[in-house]
Amino acid sequence: MKFFFADDSTHKGVRAKMGKTVAFGGLLLDGSLLKELATRTDDILREFGVPEDEEVKWSPRKGSWIYSNLIGESRLACYSKILEAAAACEAKVVVAVCDSEMRNLKPEWGFERCVTYALERVSTHLTNSDAEAVIICDRPSGGAKQAEEFLAAYAEHLESDLNHMMAESFAMNMLAAPSHMVRHLQIADLVVSITTAMVSGNTKWAGQYFDIVRQMMLCNTLGYVGGTGLKVYPDQLINLYHWIIGEDAYTKAGQMAGIKLPYEGYLYCESDGT
């Protein structure tokens, strides 16, 4: 059994013509390696003097121990080691990022698309691997009522006749858990936030970690990450696969076809827009 630890993220886009981005994604792990990754993470945090009850977050709360004490090179070293531990435990990353303003979508609609896109890609990977997974997401910050509404909406979506493959891939309805109690959700926060920052153009800090995250991203059968481990929406953003991931084409493995990147006529053909 595999486990997909999921989280969301939002960033203000700094690229030309980019609005606020919303994202959903996370970390796919084999159940046999859950304890190992949690233990490795705790050992790394102990090495850097982080208190046992401290939550690892990309944007730590002001006044928290990490915010006040794990600064600059120390945080870079600590978080890099945690991400490398996830990679050593064969974790796989899937993140879907949507610029909802570009399509005049309500933010919640953009988020729903990201949830669908991310879980579709996890489902495809599980189907190809003849495996099942349980999805564990960070509990929404709005409280119990918001958490119940989110999980109920997902259950309804999963039961749709259009999503039979997803229903077969996931062993049960999505579960919500408090991230401060689950190290794997904290690592999901890192990979999703770092990836969303890269797409949004906020690369000053995220760029220092992204190579590790990039190596964990799922790729399609043609070996490309764009559209699989990282999904951007709308398609006008696909040139970012070239600038962020360094890929020379955007491929659709199911059709055994693709287009060369950068693609003329779409945003960021001549530069990354920053």
Question: Which residues in the chain land under pLDDT 70?
Answer: 105-107, 140-167, 253-257
Dist CA 269 CA 227 (whole Å): 17
Dist CA 182 CA 118 (whole Å): 21
Enumerate the domain spans of the chain: 2-237
Dist CA 207 CA 231 (whole Å): 18
What does the pLDDT read at residue 154?
A: 56
What does the pLDDT read at residue 164?
A: 52
Residue holding tokens 């190596």?
215
What is the β-pairing status of strands 249-252 and 257-260? Answer: antiparallel
* Residues 2-237, CATH architecture: 2-Layer Sandwich (3.30)
What does the pLDDT read at residue 53?
A: 94
What does the pLDDT read at residue 142?
A: 47
Residue 23 main-chain phi, psi, to 5 deg? -150, 155
Per-residue pLDDT of 32-77, as tens digits, reads 999 999 999 999 999 999 999 999 999 999 999 999 999 999 999 9
What does the pLDDT read at residue 57?
A: 97
Query: Which amino acid appears at position 215 of this protein?
Result: Q
What does the pLDDT read at residue 158?
A: 55
What does the pLDDT read at residue 162?
A: 46
What is the β-pairing status of strands 230-233 and 175-177? Answer: unpaired
3-state secondary structure the chain: CEEEEEEEEEEECCCCCCCEEEEEEEEEEEHHHHHHHHHHHHHHHHHCCCCCCCCCCCCCCCCCHHHHHCCCHHHHHHHHHHHHHHHHCCCEEEEEEEEHHHHCCCHHHHHHHHHHHHHHHHHHHHHHHCCCEEEEEECCCCCHHHHHHHHHHHHHHHCCHHHHHHHHHECCCCEEECHHHCHHHHHHHHHHHHHHHHHHCCHHHHCCCHHHHHHHECCCCCCCCECCCEEEECHHHCCHHHHHHCCCEEEEHHHCEEEECCCCCCCCCCCCCC
What does the pLDDT read at residue 184?
A: 98
